[in-house]
């Protein structure tokens, strides 16, 4: 595939580029080993493939999605370590079933606008603001991405997982993500942060964002027991 001619990248702090070995579970003594991170990245790559197929069909152009990194955000730190003041658009969905929590798909505003344009089959620069159509398009993209990741996870784990309708949030990252609901301040387990890179053709460009899986405290232990990863 040709090198993208333009890209929209979500600025992150230097610490975000270094995955962490963060305690999980009630005891706080079990580390997320390389094997566990590899298992989660495998699931994310499967989901990314499903999402790319669905988005390609919807937009009428070839889209590829890669997962450069799977990171673990420390317990209680709901906001990823983005550079201060970054304006984002986020699609949040509640997760229920055998494990509970929520998912968040977030992009910097310029990347969100460009993805909305591609979803609406518009030319670049024709959507200067996040109007109703753009918001609806991003909700659909978030729904597809979260659904693909969760379907891959549920099949991999043989678990039943369901998602609520999407909710769109915009604004400065820290403020916007703090409005995600009463669940956020009580997060006690690690947050799975999946770096997500979209490669689009005609014209060639790339978009950069993150998919967050924000589980209830016991969800990670349930996941690792199911895949028998120690």
**pLDDT category of residue 8 using cuts at 50, 70 and 90:** very low
Mean pLDDT value across the chain: 77
Locate 102 and state its tokens. 């929520």
SS3 sequence, 108-127?
EHHHHHHHHHHHCCCCCCCC
* Residue 4: per-residue pLDDT: 42
DSSP states along 42-58:
HHHHHHHHHHHHHHHHH
Whether the upstream peptide bond of residue 99 has omega within 30° of 0, thus cis, is: no
Please state whether beta strands 6-8 and 205-215 pair in parallel, antiparallel, or not at all (unpaired).
Answer: parallel
Q: Which residues contact 148 (CB under 8 A, 6 or more apart)?
A: 47, 48, 49, 50, 51, 54
pLDDT score at 190: 72
**Is residue 121 predicted with pLDDT exceeding 80?**
yes
Enumerate the β-bridge partners of residue 24: 30
Q: For 160-197, what is each residue's pLDDT tens digit?
A: 999 999 999 998 887 777 766 544 445 556 778 888 89
Q: Report pTM.
A: 0.78
pLDDT over 70 at 23, yes or no: no
Residue extents of the structural domains in the chain: 30-227
Q: Residue 20: what pLDDT? A: 42
Instruction: Evaluate if residue 120 carries a pLDDT over 70.
Output: yes
Higher pLDDT residue, 186 or 225? 225
**For residue 94, pLDDT beyond 50:** yes
Q: Which tops the pLDDT comparison, 116 or 81?
A: 116
Per-residue pLDDT at 42 exceeds 70: yes
Q: What is the per-residue pLDDT across 49-62, written as a single tens digit (0 to 9) for each?
A: 888 998 898 888 89
Query: So what's the pLDDT on residue 212?
Result: 87
Select from 3.40.1550.10, 1.20.120.160, 3.30.2310.20, 3.50.50.60 the CATH code of 30-227. Answer: 3.40.1550.10
89 by DSSP, 3-state: which? strand
Question: Among 197, 170, 218, 187, which Cα is nearest to 73's?
Answer: 187
DSSP one-letter code for 166: P
Is the pLDDT confidence value at 133 over 90?
Answer: yes
Give the pLDDT of residue 101.
86
Tokens standing for 164? 């609520």
């Amino acid at each position: 595939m040709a090198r993208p001619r333009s890209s929209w990248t979500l600025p992150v702090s230097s610490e975000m580029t270094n995955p962490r070995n963060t305690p999980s579970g009630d005891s706080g003594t079990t580390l997320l080993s390389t094997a566990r991170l590899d298992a989660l990245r495998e699931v994310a790559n499967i989901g990314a493939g499903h999402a790319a197929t669905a988005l390609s069909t919807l937009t009428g152009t070839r889209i590829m999605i890669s997962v450069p990194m799977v990171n673990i955000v420390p317990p209680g730190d709901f906001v990823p370590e983005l550079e201060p003041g970054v304006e984002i658009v986020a699609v949040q969905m509640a997760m229920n079933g055998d494990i509970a929590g929520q998912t968040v798909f977030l992009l910097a505003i310029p990347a969100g606008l460009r993805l909305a344009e591609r979803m609406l089959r518009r030319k670049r620069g024709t959507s200067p603001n996040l109007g109703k159509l753009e918001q609806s398009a991003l909700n659909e993209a978030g729904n597809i991405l979260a659904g693909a990741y969760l379907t891959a996870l549920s099949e991999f784990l043989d678990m039943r997982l369901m998602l609520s309708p999407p909710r769109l949030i915009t604004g400065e990252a820290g403020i916007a993500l703090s409005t995600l609901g009463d669940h956020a301040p009580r997060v006690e387990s690690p947050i799975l942060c999946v770096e997500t890179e979209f490669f689009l053709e005609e014209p060639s460009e790339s978009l950069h964002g993150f998919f967050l899986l924000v589980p209830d405290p016991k969800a990670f232990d349930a996941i690792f027991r199911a895949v028998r990863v120690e």
